[in-house]
Copies of this chain bind each other. A is one copy, B any other.
């Protein structure tokens, strides 16, 4: 029995969703297989569906081409199998640039070609906090320069993270016994997943990529020790619910090497499951504690790095030939842990250093708080001095030529992000040269602007420069120089 349905149009890179009634008895999460094939002209995409509660099954799909799409469901249950339908994919609304992917080896761009300059921040456990705090986090994000957020699916047990969440990925089974939690790992708590996808959707509407951390070791609930069957089911459920959101990224783990129960082979497996089940090839990475995963492996789309020395971006670009995102290079703050107490000027300096060397850098904030609400984990408010400077840097990058700017070293500490012959963005870090001999190749003339990255001023120099010349600099730390070809 073929049943065909028409639907409302869906914007390109928006979410099409089909909901069907099906069996509610037994364990629909395990007993029922459900999915759909979406077809555009000669191209068909297989998409997994999911059980959502109350006998409702859903399949979500993100169309990437304008025009008529058709679909047909598949299931091991007759009432969910062979349902067909169609919908029109319409032009994306303003602000919808599609999902982010790798652009020219070392960079990112949205599907519509717009460059994505990744300026991420970190609120690991924000969806596990009280609702009012989550709302405050969204308001803060809306005013922030950040366009990516690292966040965990599982809750966090760690310093400053003692409070128990209300909702979890899995439902509880019975009561807590001997201090241990018992979970029904064969089911999902759809209340949690609805919350998660609501938050991911709100982030999408703010233009923020959700860098979802799939596993981590900061755990008192057992989620760092799941069995393989549960892990696979969890990953497929996550992908079925969330992959259709264009702003999703997959981070296999935070500090993968700190998950003592898991090995490299486990992470290889996570990458494989995610890659096989995500029809959209969202960015995939894994973040290190002390030891890097081998980012050269094909399923890894970009390097997600924890390291304090941003000058190593050069080495990592050479080694991995992929975008380098230093997601964690210590956080602005004043807590006792060494990764959480650098001053704002140093975090801003690390951003500039990493960016001018052709990398992307992530933010985090850890100021002591009377109620343990630290941005890095719980969200809330930002107190630091670096976000404004990061916003300033982001604006400068967005004003740059719309191409893949690459780092060039012009000797004597002259490191620039450049489109050679057209545009150079030099940064000197804490170095305070007063005079800098330079040699810009080609006959072009350049306008010079001196940038105080801390005071956030851009001061044009009169006249133009070109060829060999000596550049006068302010002789203080944290200065950048922008040179733009005169047309």
Residues of chain A touching chain B, judged by Cβ–Cβ distance below 8 Å, are 333-338, 341-343, 346, 367-368, 412-413, 430-437, 475-477
Q: Which of B334, B338, B437 contacts A434 (CB 8 A)?
A: B334
Min distance, Cβ A415 to any Cβ of chain B, angstroms = 10
Min distance, Cβ A380 to any Cβ of chain B, angstroms = 17
Q: In the assembled complex, which residues on chain B have CB atoms less than 8 Å from the CB atom of A433?
A: 334-336, 341
- Inter-chain CA distance A400–B314, complex, in Å, is 43
Q: Which of B338, B342, B431 contacts A412 (CB 8 A)?
A: B338
- Inter-chain CA distance A464–B13, complex, in Å, is 64
A341 close to B437 (CB less than 8 A): no
Q: In the assembled complex, which residues on chain B have CB atoms less than 8 Å from the CB atom of A333?
A: 432
Min distance, Cβ A434 to any Cβ of chain B, angstroms = 4
Asked whether A435 and B476 contact (CB < 8 A) given A342-B430, A343-B430, the answer is: no
Q: Is the interface of A mostly helix, strand, loop or mixed?
A: loop
Q: In the assembled complex, which residues on chain B have CB atoms less than 8 Å from the CB atom of A431?
A: 338, 341-342
Most buried by B among A333, A336, A476: A336
B435 close to A368 (CB less than 8 A): yes
Asked whether A335 and B430 contact (CB < 8 A) given A343-B476, A476-B343, the answer is: no
Q: In the assembled complex, which residues on chain B have CB atoms less than 8 Å from the CB atom of A435?
A: 334-336, 368
A413 close to B338 (CB less than 8 A): yes
A335 close to B477 (CB less than 8 A): no
17 A-B residue pairings within 8 Å (CB atoms):
A334-B432, A334-B433, A334-B434, A334-B435, A334-B475, A336-B413, A336-B436, A338-B413, A338-B431, A341-B433, A342-B430, A342-B431, A342-B432, A343-B432, A343-B477, A346-B477, A368-B435
- Inter-chain CA distance A476–B344, complex, in Å, is 10
Min distance, Cβ A221 to any Cβ of chain B, angstroms = 26
- Inter-chain CA distance A233–B475, complex, in Å, is 46
Q: Which residue on chain B has the smallest CB distance to residue A434? A: B334
Q: In the assembled complex, which residues on chain B have CB atoms less than 8 Å from the CB atom of A338?
A: 412-413, 431
A434 close to B477 (CB less than 8 A): no
Query: What 9 A-B pairs are tightest by C-beta distance, nearest first?
Result: A334-B434, A338-B413, A334-B475, A341-B433, A341-B431, A336-B436, A336-B433, A343-B477, A343-B432
- Inter-chain CA distance A343–B475, complex, in Å, is 9
Q: In the assembled complex, which residues on chain B have CB atoms less than 8 Å from the CB atom of A412?
A: 336-338
Min distance, Cβ A311 to any Cβ of chain B, angstroms = 11
Q: In the assembled complex, which residues on chain B have CB atoms less than 8 Å from the CB atom of A346?
A: 430, 477
- Inter-chain CA distance A415–B436, complex, in Å, is 37
- Inter-chain CA distance A346–B429, complex, in Å, is 12
Q: In the assembled complex, which residues on chain B have CB atoms less than 8 Å from the CB atom of A342?
A: 430-432
- Inter-chain CA distance A436–B334, complex, in Å, is 10
Min distance, Cβ A307 to any Cβ of chain B, angstroms = 14
Min distance, Cβ A349 to any Cβ of chain B, angstroms = 10
19 additional contacts (CB under 8 A) given A334-B433, A368-B434: A333-B432, A334-B434, A334-B435, A335-B434, A336-B433, A336-B435, A336-B436, A337-B413, A338-B413, A341-B413, A341-B431, A341-B434, A342-B430, A343-B430, A343-B432, A343-B476, A343-B477, A367-B434, A368-B435
- Inter-chain CA distance A413–B437, complex, in Å, is 39
- Inter-chain CA distance A342–B346, complex, in Å, is 15
- Inter-chain CA distance A477–B436, complex, in Å, is 29
Min distance, Cβ A465 to any Cβ of chain B, angstroms = 15
Most buried by B among A338, A342, A431, A476: A431
Q: In the assembled complex, which residues on chain B have CB atoms less than 8 Å from the CB atom of A341?
A: 413, 431-434
Min distance, Cβ A206 to any Cβ of chain B, angstroms = 30
Q: Which residue on chain B has the smallest CB distance to residue A368? A: B434
Min distance, Cβ A365 to any Cβ of chain B, angstroms = 13
- Inter-chain CA distance A336–B435, complex, in Å, is 6
Q: Which residue on chain B has the smallest CB distance to residue A474? A: B334
Q: In the assembled complex, which residues on chain B have CB atoms less than 8 Å from the CB atom of A476?
A: 343
Asked whether A437 and B336 contact (CB < 8 A) given A343-B432, A431-B341, the answer is: yes
Min distance, Cβ A52 to any Cβ of chain B, angstroms = 45
Q: In the assembled complex, which residues on chain B have CB atoms less than 8 Å from the CB atom of A336?
A: 412-413, 433, 435-437
Q: In the assembled complex, which residues on chain B have CB atoms less than 8 Å from the CB atom of A475?
A: 334
Q: Which residue on chain B has the smallest CB distance to residue A337? A: B412
Min distance, Cβ A305 to any Cβ of chain B, angstroms = 19
Min distance, Cβ A372 to any Cβ of chain B, angstroms = 12
Most buried by B among A335, A341, A436, A476: A341
Q: Which residue on chain B has the smallest CB distance to residue A414? A: B336
Q: In the assembled complex, which residues on chain B have CB atoms less than 8 Å from the CB atom of A343?
A: 430, 432, 476-477
Q: Which residue on chain B has the smallest CB distance to residue A412? A: B336
